[in-house]
């Protein structure tokens, strides 16, 4: 074979590898069958990489709910429709002839991971973080201390949270945490109903929020303004929220001007905005804020010590006042002192992080971190078993981070297939699983079935001026899917 000098050997190897993969794909028994558990961003991005990287690989995406898209559907705030545009990419992946969506299948209940591994070349766990971290303080079990994760599920139509009791008959609310989810909760509580009613927010949440008495929201963090976890986009939205003023105390941020120039660019822009909002607001902002009926306030260096109650009702939160220690400007450590402060409120949201749960007792799992034990996506001591997304890394980053991590997991699976670390021999794929589920009378939802649910939701939203009205009952979803 004549090889021009300008063609590098690496490129030749890639050509030969692709040729070999095409030859493999023509042999039915050697076709890799990959099962991905979870249809959120981690699952779809991993599927996308596998389908792109192997011309014959078949991917089944298994989801416990009858509807796909996970955190994009149930975690992204309803007033952020642009973030949900990634659903278009996921839909393209799902419609690939080598990709199959299997909804309403609960792994760990309807089928075990061991059964999946016997049927598939590789199994990827990408089911996200379905639990949240707790404070372990007195009063935390009061009904008016609510998980931010559950509240987000409530206003986004997640079936498991549709019955959440949210008592909005309180003027003051405390949110424990200063990440993007905390800001999402605050924004939904303070956004005018006239704006929310044009989104896909669930109707039961819209009706409850329309009766809300909430006028002030405190966003409380353990550390200082240089350690906040929210991003500049979310902060800008909060600052520009109609009929609402930000309260950022000058004494908290006045010392930041001298260090702003030395910060990494994203942190620099965020810190500069905090500083200017407190000390250099525009005349227009000052005038609008003076007329606002609602407000939100950032509070720093406070660790929750107790949720205070009287006659079963939340009356406030007691905090330890912290000191920050460490030489690093951003990565300082909060140390609680014996001094305390109290903030009065009638409702508390806990927004201190999510964690994953093991869906199978045989999974190697780190209970403290809330992740599956793994080495770069390969599950510890379980050849052929992988994990992707938050169940692998913990709840960090945004969708872009999950995309990168999902692509990398997909590449590792393809590499293991190519090198023979995992084998496709004797792996029937979904056939064996479908037979088991169907014999048990399980109703499997296909992607074309989801199309029916999608259309029904859009049609329900149209008369009331919403992009969709989500179905929040699983049985109703199944009825629509198979109508």
- Closest to 356 measured CA to CA, from 20, 40, 23: 40
Q: Do 14 and 101 meet the contact criterion of CB atoms below 8 Å apart?
A: no
Identify the residue whose tokens are 């379980």.
Answer: 382
Q: pLDDT tens per residue, the chain (483 residues)?
A: 333 444 444 454 454 454 444 444 434 457 999 999 999 999 999 999 999 999 999 999 999 999 999 999 999 999 999 999 999 999 999 999 999 999 999 999 999 999 999 999 999 999 998 888 999 999 999 999 999 999 999 999 999 999 999 999 999 999 999 999 999 999 999 999 999 999 999 999 999 999 999 999 999 999 999 999 999 999 999 999 999 999 999 999 999 999 999 999 999 999 999 999 999 999 999 999 999 999 999 999 999 999 999 999 999 999 999 999 998 888 899 999 999 999 999 999 999 988 899 999 989 999 988 999 999 999 999 999 999 999 999 888 788 889 999 999 999 999 999 999 999 888 989 988 999 999 999 999 999 999 999 999 999 999 999 999 999 999 999 999 998
- Residue 151: burial class (beta carbons within 10 Å; 0-12, 13-18, 19+): buried
pLDDT digits (tens, 9 = 90+) for 26-64: 344 579 999 999 999 999 999 999 999 999 999 999 999
Please, what's the largest Cα pairwise distance for the chain? Answer: 87
DSSP single-letter state for residue 83: G
CA distance 233 to 344: 29
CA distance 11 to 147: 52
Phi and psi dihedrals of 414, rounded to 5? Answer: -60, -40
Contacts made by residues 253-262, CB under 8 angstroms, sequence distance 24+: 253/225, 253/278, 253/279, 254/278, 254/279, 256/225, 256/226, 259/226, 259/329, 262/329
- Residue 288: burial class (beta carbons within 10 Å; 0-12, 13-18, 19+): middle
Which SS3 state, helix, strand or coil, does residue 100 take? strand
**H or E element that contains 317:** strand 313-325
DSSP single-letter state for residue 111: B
Beta strands 122-125 and 131-132, pairing class: unpaired
Cβ neighbors of 49 (< 8 A, separation 6 or more) are: 406, 407, 409, 410, 411, 414
The number of angstroms, rounded, from the C-alpha of 431 to the middle of its chain's C-alpha atoms is: 31
Which SS3 state, helix, strand or coil, does residue 110 take? coil
User: What structural domains and CATH numbers belong to the chain?
Assistant: 20-130+355-445 (3.40.50.720), 134-352 (3.50.50.60)
**Which neighbouring-strand residues pair with 114?**
none
pLDDT digits (tens, 9 = 90+) for 120-138: 999 999 999 888 899 999 9
CA distance 162 to 69: 18
Q: Do 275 and 253 meet the contact criterion of CB atoms below 8 Å apart?
A: yes
CA distance 84 to 470: 14
- Closest to 148 measured CA to CA, from 351, 307, 347: 351
Render the burial of 432-454: b for 16+ CB within 10 Å, e for the rest: bbbeebeeeeeebbbbebbebbb
Q: Residue 108 is encoded by which pair of tokens?
A: 């760990």
CA distance 341 to 8: 67
């Amino acid at each position: 074979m004549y090889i021009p000098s300008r063609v590098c050997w690496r490129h030749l190897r890639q050509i030969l590898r692709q040729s070999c993969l095409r030859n493999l794909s023509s042999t039915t028994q050697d076709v890799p069958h990959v099962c991905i558990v979870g249809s959120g961003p981690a699952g779809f991005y991993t599927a996308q990489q596998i389908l792109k990287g192997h011309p014959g690989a078949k991917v089944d995406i298994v989801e416990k709910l009858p509807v796909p898209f996970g955190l994009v559907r149930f975690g992204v705030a309803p007033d952020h429709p642009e973030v949900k545009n990634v659903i278009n990419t996921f839909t393209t992946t799902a419609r690939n002839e080598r990709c199959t969506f299997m909804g309403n299948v609960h792994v760990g209940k309807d089928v075990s991971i061991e059964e999946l591994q016997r049927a598939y070349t590789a199994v990827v766990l990408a089911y996200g973080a379905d639990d949240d971290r707790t404070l372990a303080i007195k009063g935390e079990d009061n009904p008016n201390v609510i998980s931010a994760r559950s509240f987000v599920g409530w206003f986004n139509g997640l079936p498991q949270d549709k019955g959440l009791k949210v008592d909005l008959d309180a003027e003051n609310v405390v949110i424990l945490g200063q990440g993007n989810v905390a800001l999402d909760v605050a924004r939904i509580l303070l956004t005018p109903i006239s704006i929310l009613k044009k989104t896909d927010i669930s109707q039961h949440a819209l009706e409850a929020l329309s009766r809300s008495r909430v006028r002030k929201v405190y966003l409380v963090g353990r550390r200082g303004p240089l350690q906040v976890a929210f991003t500049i986009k979310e902060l800008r939205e909060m600052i520009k929220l109609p009929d609402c003023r930000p309260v950022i105390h000058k004494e908290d941020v006045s010392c930041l001007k001298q260090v702003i120039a030395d910060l990494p660019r994203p942190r620099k822009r965020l810190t500069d905005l905090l500083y200017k909002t407190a000390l250099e607001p525009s005349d227009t902002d000052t005038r609008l804020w003076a007329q606002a009926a609602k407000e939100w306030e950032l509070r720093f260096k406070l660790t929750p010590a107790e949720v205070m109650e009287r006659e079963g009702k939340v009356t406030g939160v007691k905090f330890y006042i912290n000191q920050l220690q460490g030489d690093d400007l951003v990565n300082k450590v909060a140390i609680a002192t014996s001094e305390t402060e109290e903030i009065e409120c009638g409702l508390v949201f806990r927004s201190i992080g999510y964690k994953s749960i093991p869906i199978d007792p045989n999974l190697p799992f780190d209970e403290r971190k809330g992740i599956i034990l793994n080495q770069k996506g390969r599950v510890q001591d379980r050849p052929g078993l992988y994990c992707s997304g938050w169940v692998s890394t913990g709840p960090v980053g945004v969708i872009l981070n999950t995309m990168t991590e999902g692509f990398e997991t997909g590449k590792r699976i393809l590499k293991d297939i190519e090198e023979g670390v995992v084998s496709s021999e004797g792996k029937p794929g979904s056939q064996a699983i479908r037979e088991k589920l169907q014999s048990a009378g399980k109703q499997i939802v296909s992607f074309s079935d989801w199309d029916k649910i999608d259309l029904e939701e859009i049609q329900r939203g149209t008369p009331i001026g919403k992009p969709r009205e989500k179905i929040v009952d699983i049985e109703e979803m199944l009825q629509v899917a198979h109508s």
